[in-house]
Structure 1
Amino acid sequence: MIKRLIVLSIIYIFSSCATEYNRKDITKNAERYLSEQRFERAYTEFESSVSEHYEDIELHRDFIRFVSKAHRCLDANRFYEDNRKKKGYEHIYYYAKGLLGVVCIEMEKKDVMENFSKAIEFAPDNFEIRLRYGSILTEYEMYNEALKQFEALYKLNPASSAVMSYLALCSASLGSFEKGRQYIQKMMDLDFSDADLARANRAMDIINSSCLDTPSEIRDSFKKILDMILIEDRPAQAREIIENLILKYANIPALRLIKSMALSLTGEFSAALYELNSMGNISNECSYFQYTGGIIYLGVQKEDKGITMLEKAIELDPLMINSYRILSELYISRKDNPKAERALRYYLKLKRDDHKSRFLYGRLLLWEKKFDEASKQFETILAMEPENSLGIVGMGMLYAEYARASKDRRERDINLKRSLEYLNTAIKKDPENETIKSIIKSLNIKEE
């Protein structure tokens, strides 16, 4: 009996893998035929595959996306009508009809919603149906109804980053700002996609703007100005825009806040502190206020106060990328490695291509003897940029630590050899890099 169960499990695993492979392959082939203008073959083969794997709801999703691009929506609609009475697949019929009504067939909102509601009646625990319906309701700005779908999905899968981001967006849109923050923080502890991050950013924009009572012209300019300061590194240009707005709107707290931020980034900390203290009744629960204050207090050599405010900024806005980076440097200087690790981990989730910070994170993990996690950081650098000298040095450091930890002489020698190979490669690629030289010297390893 046990042997039979094992065999069945293996068959199931391989059949699942095959379904996943077929789905991707089917979609890829259809796209290729479409690009070659072999329209009929593209459609008929895709439809045939959907018939063959009718139980795979994600294949239906891909099929409907395809027919929208191929302008074969009416054909797809007929296909689903022909399969309407397929026993046990009622949920797929209503899901497909609803999705067709969104992407390529003229259908009123109420009819789209009715189709999805019926699909959920037949398959209340189907993740894809609820996720798609919730996302559509969000697009319709029906946040209360969308929230119900995502709360149900959260019970089905509390580790879905997509669900977290939608919960954050719906909560923020409904004015539940603290809940929105909490969902974003939970998302930050998961692996999330760019789409998830975009939704979370929308939620945080709503939350952050709520703490600043400003005219619409300022609100519309607010994000643009902040991007100029925090992302584009153009504080002087941002300051010019802010000063023009201040002339028009006088003592609006939000403008003084941004002006103080711009001043701090150009090193004018005394003037920045004056602006910060001239804001009046701006809320301490505003992440931008905390971030700006943190930068200013660091600038006037009040490090403890600066750190406290930056930590508060992250608590209020878990996506405030610059706060993580600055705090990680401060924690490292204070030899507070656990806090530095945490700050860098979150920072790298938001800034995945910062190889220097990822290398630093890997070094911290090595110091804590977290070899597997450190290895992932260096491998990630090399996956993005195979010739990156920091990634190569990181691997050399990793194998040096493996060698030190090895009790078996043969294993130690193998790890030592690999370490030296990586380090020699790195120094050949970048012979004048003093950082690499000092790291290699600090390792103090040699072949015996």
Structure 2
Amino acid sequence: MNRVRKATTLIAAAALVSGSATISACAPQPADVGLLTADGVTRVSVQTADYSAQLEAFNASARKLGVTLLADGGDSGSGNVVSSPASLLIALSMLRSGASGVTAAEMDSVLGLPAEGRDEAMNALLASLEKFDGDPGSVDEENPPQKPVMHAANGLFVDKGVPTGEAFLTTLGKHFGTGVYPVNFRDEAVTKPAIDQWVSKNTGGRIKEAPAQYSPDNTFSLLNALYFAAAWQAPFDANDTADSPFTKAGGEVINVPSMHSSLTMAYAEAPGWKAVDLPYAEGFVMRLILPDGGASGPDGPAAVSAEVLADVARELSGAQQDMVHISMPKWDHKTTFELRKVFETLGLKDMLATSTDFDSIQQGMKLTQAAQAANITVAEKGTIASAVTQINAEASSAMVPERKIILDHPFHYQIVHSETGMPLFTEWVADPR
């Protein structure tokens, strides 16, 4: 493909660190790739309280994305499917900021994005998460931190010979805290390692390579990375961990290492499910949802729909704290998704087909590859999780427990940011081994 090789103004955002207006505090820079900024572009300060309706729309969108990802299954062959709806939502929201025409309308309709204040509300969400920002590389994953680390990073790699729309980049700078890395996609020996290094640094090395296939014809690669590490508010005693039966969806009973404790947490139940919010030391909970019926219940992630997730969130938000006996397995899972299939399932057909509605990003830009990689480790001391979403394009251009939840058959969980309700990670656990 012939590319126009002329100078263009590239604008970078303020850092994804609360109170910072310098790009130097952003995600670590890839080796040998400079980060460009534009004078006068600083991060806008917004508050979550001013965008409560928009944030609830984002939560509903994330629930829909999470259910769709789990139903897709990715490359999981075991039935365990871990994903990050928040990472996908942030990436799609960045892409939506540069969309127009029927593609913009389709994205708003399919994703349920707010009609007004969309970018400002995403800014507020990211700013809220930044209260827990930290360096993934500094985390001792054998001992998850009492102060949770929730690192979110946005990176935009653009071909340095193809003009990128200033208005789009300004929006990213004002509301998404992203940096802009000018690269030569034709020089795969330099550019692919630079993108992979960005991914590895922003996931603490848990994801080594960008999930989407590299192509030298690309002129645009948008990435979001999330890294989460947190200790439980009340760690499980490793001395109490023992093999316990777990009944898989087909009826097979297996023995898996399971943790046991009794502690105070939000508990709710309704016909078809019971759920708890298992608290981390600060700011986050693991929302565990156990469908009724054991092995005779619905097979797979379909047991927990977006509507059920909304009901669970509503019930738990008003639930009183109860003493609950909990028994749950340990697990260590990972999944990779080919997101073009997910987009087709969602109905984002115009977004995949258009070569004109992203002209404000790059003239003639058409999506080429999209993928997500996610992983999680859950044990007695806490949780470590990471995810990367990548979208590429080519421009042709002492109480006695009264409640209990025994996670002894397939279940659904989310890691939820308590302030905003955003589901950061979600998984269907079919076999904890």
When normalised by structure 2's length, the TM-score is 0.23
Higher helix share: 1
Flag the structure with more relative contact order, 1 or 2, with Cα contacts below 8 A and sequence separation at least 6: 2
More strand by share: 2
